[in-house]
Amino acid sequence: MLHGRKILLIVSGSVAAFKALMLVRLLRAEGATVRAVLTAGGARFVTRESLAAITGEHVSDDLWAAESEIGHIRLARWADAVVVAPASASRLAQMAQGLAGDLAGCVLLATRAPVLAAPAMNPAMWAHPATEANVALLAARGVRFVGPGEGAMAEPESGPGRLAEPEEMAAAIRALFAEGPLQGKHVLVTAGPTQEPIDPVRYISNRSSGRQGYAIAAALAALGARVTLVSGPVVLAAPPGVAVKRVESARDMLAACEAALPADAAIFAAAVADWRVAQEAGQKMKKEPGADAPTLTMALNPDILATVAKHAVRPRLVIGFAAETENVVEHARQKLARKGCDWIVANDVSGDVFGGGENTVHLVSASGVEDWPKMPKEEVAAKLAARVAEFFE
């Protein structure tokens, strides 16, 4: 609940700005006080009057009007949390650069409160390396993200870039105030399969659903951690308050993990493809009449876990997963040494673990083996997150 919390909402320019009005409703229904700052771009999509009516507060939009009372400092100090929703590509770039040319920019520099950004933009703008770099920089500085989601856009095209739904944004705001034992800790989590391209239309992958890794990310966030989830292609939504970086290949996953460092802990739940096709074909491979089937030459993928475990800025706690179909614990012990991690969560995948809802795991570390009973993946996640919290106590 957000009873008594003071939320400063910065509304920047996006056609999705109407959702900010719905967000204000939800936050006020939970007992929060909401004040809004409307940027010049935001004012193209929602009016100052509608924001004032919905928040029940004065709306600030002019740096120089506010400056008669050093308004940006007052607003920055007043807020328990600053929420930028929608956060346009331009606003994210300004935040990354620390530009303070308007009231929103000044408040964002002056505040010491947690900042949550809910990006909204065209999928091509979201995928642009400039936006990616801005988001990575902001995340490394502690800015939290919610969304964007995938789906229909204002233009007749779809893809990631859609502003998170008001309920998701409200959940992410609640997560900002989660006073858990992992408050102040940054945890990197990998999840899902990787896709290794054969040609522009074909790939090699595996049956990982990503459910266990997503559940772990959610459980860590619920204990107050700042979580970066590097995810292969899955159909799951980002857990509330978790920054998700979506990747396809193992090499992209490694690059995203290295970009997310430093971290206090790292948990590698992804089912990374061991091999990739050595030479990805630039064009779709043709099936010529009468010709033999092609032979694919494979190359070894980088081991992401092993690379992070011996990284110059190694997380203090590195946890790997081991999916085995026989001698589960013995293989996990060997893997612990080989990969240089601190704990291994070993699971028997001879059953229906991939895509299933339950998991039977053994927690293997230098100090011994714990056998956990079969339980839902969410419970495995909660138990593991609690163990991580104990480690940092």
Catalytic residues: 206
253: number of CA atoms within 13 Å, CB side? 31
Q: Let me know the angle formed at the C-alpha of 74 by 69 and 77, rounded to the nearest 5 degrees.
A: 170
Q: How far is the CB of 326 from ligand C5P (least distance, A)?
A: 13
**SS3 annotation, 248-295:** CCHHHHHHHHHHHCCCCEEEECCECCCEEECCCCCCCCCCCCCCCCCC
User: Helix H segments across the chain?
Assistant: 18-29, 48-55, 63-66, 71-78, 89-97, 103-110, 123-127, 129-140, 166-176, 211-222, 250-260, 304-309, 328-339, 377-392
d(CA 277, CA 19): 44
d(CA 152, CA 307): 38
Q: Which is nearer to ligand C5P, 17 or 250 (CB)?
A: 250
Long-range contacts of 134-137 (CB under 8 A, 24+ apart): 134/92, 134/93, 134/95, 134/96, 135/92, 135/243, 136/245, 136/259, 136/260, 137/96
Q: How far is the CB of 353 from ligand C5P (least distance, A)?
A: 13
Q: Which is nearer to ligand C5P, 82 or 191 (CB)?
A: 191
d(CA 176, CA 224): 8
In this structure, what DSSP letter does residue 71 have? Answer: H
Q: Which is nearer to ligand C5P, 9 or 253 (CB)?
A: 253
Q: How far is the CB of 245 from ligand C5P (least distance, A)?
A: 15
Residue 332 zone, left/alpha/beta (φ > 0; ψ -120 to 50; rest)? alpha
Q: Which is nearer to ligand C5P, 115 or 266 (CB)?
A: 266
In this structure, what DSSP letter does residue 43 have? Answer: G
Q: How far is the CB of 334 from ligand C5P (least distance, A)?
A: 10
Q: Which is nearer to ligand C5P, 25 or 333 (CB)?
A: 333
- Angle at which helix 89-97 crosses helix 129-140, to 10 degrees, equals 50
Q: Which is nearer to ligand C5P, 60 or 301 (CB)?
A: 301
Considering only CA atoms, which of 283, 270, 173, 182 is closest in space to residue 227? Answer: 182
Q: Which is nearer to ligand C5P, 131 or 301 (CB)?
A: 301
Q: How far is the CB of 124 from ligand C5P (least distance, A)?
A: 30
Q: How far is the CB of 195 from ligand C5P (least distance, A)?
A: 13
CA distances (Å), 147 to each of 43, 118, 221, 360, in order? 22, 6, 15, 31
Q: How far is the CB of 282 from ligand C5P (least distance, A)?
A: 25
CB atoms within 10 A of CB 286: 10
Q: Which residues bind ligand C5P (CB under 6 A)?
A: 190, 250, 268, 270, 272, 301, 303-305, 320-322, 335
